[in-house]
Structure 1
Amino acid sequence: MIYAVPKKIAIISPPFVGHYRILFNLAARLIASDNNIHITFIITGWTHVSLSDLERKKFDISRMTLIEMDGGIFQRPAPFYFTFPRVTNLIERVIKACEDHMYIIYDTFSLEGYIAGQILGIPAICSVTGVMGPFDSRLPLFSQAITDNGPIINQLEDTYKISLLERIQMLGDGYFIASDYQTIQWSWPKLIEIDDYSCNRSLVNNQFMRPLNNRTCAVRSLEEKIIYFSLGTVVTTHLWSHSQSLQRFVRKILESIVEKFDGRHGYRVIISAGRKVSDLFTTIPRNFLVSESLPQLDILSQSNLFITHGGGNSVNEAIDAGVPMIVIPFFGDQHQSAANVQKLGIGHSFMHEEHLLDRVIDASSGLYERPCLTDKNSLYNAIDFLLHENDCAGAFMDLKRDEHINITNLNRLSLG
């Protein structure tokens, strides 16, 4: 009897939900499409930043091999400064784990995957969950980060005889090294193409993909309007303990929302807190549902308005469901998301002042307050406009004319 040689694929991601979950779903579909595919899922984490027990259970019942790696202490909540120290600590382990694999798929935050591919001569595909904008190497934040990390980058280049420095770009508040093989952007094309995202970038075989199972049919009540609020998983977890100003800013926004909707007939507010509810609320109004974690896709399919931080997954999921957004960006590519949402006419964004963006894009700066939200009436006006006056249906229809993109089209991945 002749047995087929297994197709072994290594997927490498940090332990951030928005990054690894979309790759987990991709891996599950790859396995379902071909019984001969074996997935090694490598999490490049830190001592106190890793998968939750609940997420580990999902791997336990999958047909994937999970490898969690501890890259040391998570000292600063800024990708420019937590990436290369972790890469240095983990790269040998990642290389060993990938040795006998046919392909590598690496998240933008897990540059170990790119380096392992270069060293082993394995095709490495880059997964981009963030919202990509144009690249400018002159930005002070980027040039300073390159200077600060220069010794580590040079050491990696010398040790492994590879070229890194000339390949490194910026995406959001982190590094980006484009694949020599293929780049997957998990976004609707027009969300990215509204800006000159390819400026100063060399993208090989760039593909836009959206998960087919995200396209739920909207079922919205005529009896009440649903307002959904979520700031994702990073703002209220990894960043929370590092910034008192962030905590004050988030509480201020929530207090304004409670003041506007508490007890109002015909309105229901659903809040995904991202942490213990008691950390944010002492009492919860009767027409509010607040939970540490909620099924976002299901809720968006019923929502009339989404108040969001502008993370790439959240914005794309709102587009999937056709829900207008109020975007309040905090860091990284969220600023790009907010600008693009405004340009596309699918929501309203409360941006930082332009001259501050090269500073606030760094999550460690602690600059979260912004003049446009000093008066809570500006938030109320945006809510009322999007709930009652502005019909975004046409804008969503124009944006989503690329119906061919989905991850069931696996032939669009460059896998032999």
Structure 2
Amino acid sequence: MSHVLFINVFGYGHINPTVSIVGELLDRGEKVTYVAGEEFKDKIEHMGARFIGYKNFDELGFNNGEISPAEIEPQLMEISRVYVEIIETVFNIKDNFDYIIYDSLFFLGAEIARVLKIPAISSDSTFAVNDKTNYMSEFFAKFGPVIMGLTSRPDFLSTINYLRDKYGIIVPDLFSIHKLKSDINIIYTSRYFQICGESFDDSYKFVGPSISDRKEKPESTLIYKDKSKLIYISLGTIFNKSVEFYESCFKAFGSMDVKIIMSVGMNIDISSFKNVPNNFIIRNYVPQLEILKYADLFITHGGMNSTNEGLYYSVPLIVIPHFFDQPVVAYRVAELGAGIVIEKDKVSPEILKESVNRIFSNKAYKENSEKIGKSLRGSGGYKKGVDEIFALKDSKKTTGNLIYI
């Protein structure tokens, strides 16, 4: 039995792909210590892992998908605060670890591995990145001057020096974090769906979505098909406060011969919706994987986790991206002919309805989503991911050192 240190950051889109990985590690006899935001305590402990929490990021201003350069600096300082807290938490754990798995956005994970002299495994909840696929380039182009100013601030430099002097952690150049890789990198999509998939070497393990039975049974009214088509609508756990968007859906689809299941998240009072069409079922939460098994179309924000899950079940997509990697994910869906992209500022009942009719009238969208789905299902999933982790562990040829590519 080996002891695994698992570090995760941000929200459900980063946590959910790892749940089945952790479950499989535990089933194979590994001991797992999972470090994540306090709100995930029950979810992680339910699997049987030891959980150590920290105060997770605030909302970070992402709800409307827009952050100005003036607003980003406090957000970045909040991120740095949490990263320091994570490092202090890890080095205060008295146990010894045999290897570390860390979310790729917690780029200091490989540094922790180097200091502890253990193998490093990156858990990539979105596309893998290199010079050809750097989806963060637009972010750095927009916020580069702010980031440069931040990294030269005395308090930020003091933090960097603190991490170096107390823990031996060397903070890398923030503009080069897309060049970092670990001993292996677990990517939760297929090499076919990955942008420029052929440009990644064998240390990148494209295992597909981490799909397992979540033992969530949908109520019969959700999956009963009393209309010709079933459309599932969800904007994920961050961008789910868009009441105006949901009302546009009422106008777009209320008169269509389709059944609509709309998941609006826990932050919206469903009773506040007025004049809901009869063909709509609105819930704060639904078992997404179960609904996607029956859906004919998925309208999504384009988070990688949701996109992978929809395509895993060969469901065509309408993608309304908001921020960060979502426009890149949406672009890839459209490039491979599995869906349509609508810019969030151009959403209207007319465009929504026209887009749905295009997908339902052109069988190529379904055929292309099936092609991607086949590649995702054939990538091996969480069991393949753990196979790769064990192969690394057993090889004893790596040292967990940070590598630049």
**TM-score over 0.5 (shorter chain):** yes
What is the total number of aligned residue pairs between the two structures? 358
Q: Are 1:26 and 2:27 matched, yes or no?
A: no
* C-alpha spacing 1:220/1:284, structure 2 compared with 1 (3 Å): closer
Q: Secondary structure at the match of 2:47?
A: coil
Where do residues 14-413 of structure 1 align in structure 2 (5 Å cutoff)? 14=9, 16-32=11-27, 34-35=28-29, 37-43=30-36, 45=37, 50-51=38-39, 56-70=41-55, 77=62, 80-97=76-93, 99-132=95-128, 134-135=133-134, 139-141=140-142, 143-151=144-152, 152=156, 154-155=160-161, 158-159=164-165, 160-166=167-173, 169=176, 178-194=180-196, 205-211=203-209, 213=211, 221=225, 223-236=227-240, 250-262=242-254, 264=256, 266-278=257-269, 281-351=273-343, 370=345, 372-373=346-347, 375-399=348-372, 400-401=374-375, 403-409=378-384, 410-413=386-389
* C-alpha spacing 1:158/1:41, structure 2 compared with 1 (3 Å): closer
Offset of 1:277 from its aligned partner? 4.2
Q: How many percent of aligned residue pairs carry the same amino acid? A: 22
Whichever residue aligns with residue 252 of structure 1, its letter is E
* C-alpha spacing 1:156/1:314, structure 2 compared with 1 (3 Å): farther
* C-alpha spacing 1:316/1:256, structure 2 compared with 1 (3 Å): same
Whichever residue aligns with residue 33 of structure 2, its letter is T
Offset of 1:98 from its aligned partner? 7.5
Give the gaps of 5 or more residues in structure 2.
Answer: 63-71, 215-222, 395-405
Tell me if structure 1 keeps the 8 A contact 2:301–2:322: yes
Q: Which residue of 1 aligns with 2:65?
A: none
Tell me if structure 2 keeps the 8 A contact 1:71–1:89: no
Q: Which residue of 1 aligns with 2:68?
A: none
Offset of 1:16 from its aligned partner? 1.0
Distance, in Å, in 2 between the alignment partners of 1:310 and 1:197 is: 23
Q: Secondary structure at the match of 1:192?
A: coil
Whichever residue aligns with residue 190 of structure 1, its letter is Y
Distance, in Å, in 2 between the alignment partners of 1:252 and 1:76 is: 18
Give the gaps of 5 or more residues in structure 1.
Answer: 1-5, 171-175, 241-249, 352-368
Cα deviation code 1:244-272 (max 9, x no counterpart): xxxxxx333222211122254x3110011
Cα deviation code 1:295-351 (max 9, x no counterpart): 111111111111100000011111101111000000010010111011000000024
Offset of 1:97 from its aligned partner? 2.8
Offset of 1:221 from its aligned partner? 4.9
Tell me if structure 1 keeps the 8 A contact 2:33–2:52: yes
Offset of 1:25 from its aligned partner? 1.6
* C-alpha spacing 1:227/1:411, structure 2 compared with 1 (3 Å): same
Q: Secondary structure at the match of 2:182?
A: coil
Offset of 1:287 from its aligned partner? 1.7
For CA contacts below 8 A with separation 6 or more, give which structure has more relative contact order: 2
Distance, in Å, in 2 between the alignment partners of 1:191 and 1:349 is: 16
Distance, in Å, in 2 between the alignment partners of 1:99 and 1:395 is: 48
Q: Secondary structure at the match of 2:84?
A: helix
Whichever residue aligns with residue 78 of structure 2, its letter is F
Whichever residue aligns with residue 225 of structure 1, its letter is K
* C-alpha spacing 1:256/1:75, structure 2 compared with 1 (3 Å): closer
Distance, in Å, in 1 between the alignment partners of 2:142 and 2:198 is: 20
Offset of 1:24 from its aligned partner? 2.0
Q: Which residue of 1 aligns with 2:219?
A: none
Q: Which residue of 1 aligns with 2:403?
A: none
Offset of 1:120 from its aligned partner? 1.5
Q: Secondary structure at the match of 2:93?
A: helix
Tell me if structure 2 keeps the 8 A contact 1:132–1:197: no
Whichever residue aligns with residue 120 of structure 1, its letter is L
Distance, in Å, in 2 between the alignment partners of 1:144 and 1:105 is: 32
Distance, in Å, in 1 between the alignment partners of 2:362 and 2:46 is: 47
* C-alpha spacing 1:306/1:72, structure 2 compared with 1 (3 Å): closer
Q: Secondary structure at the match of 2:364?
A: coil
Distance, in Å, in 1 between the alignment partners of 2:51 and 2:179 is: 24
Offset of 1:222 from its aligned partner? 8.5
Offset of 1:124 from its aligned partner? 1.7
Whichever residue aligns with residue 311 of structure 2, its letter is I
* C-alpha spacing 1:23/1:177, structure 2 compared with 1 (3 Å): farther
Distance, in Å, in 2 between the alignment partners of 1:267 and 1:72 is: 39
Tell me if structure 2 keeps the 8 A contact 1:220–1:301: no
Distance, in Å, in 2 between the alignment partners of 1:169 and 1:192 is: 21
Distance, in Å, in 2 between the alignment partners of 1:195 and 1:319 is: 17
Offset of 1:17 from its aligned partner? 1.2
Q: Which residue of 1 aligns with 2:2?
A: 7
Cα deviation code 1:18-37 (max 9, x no counterpart): 111221221001111x22x1
Q: TM-score, normalised by structure 1?
A: 0.76
Tell me if structure 2 keeps the 8 A contact 1:181–1:204: no
Q: Secondary structure at the match of 2:381?
A: coil
Offset of 1:87 from its aligned partner? 1.3
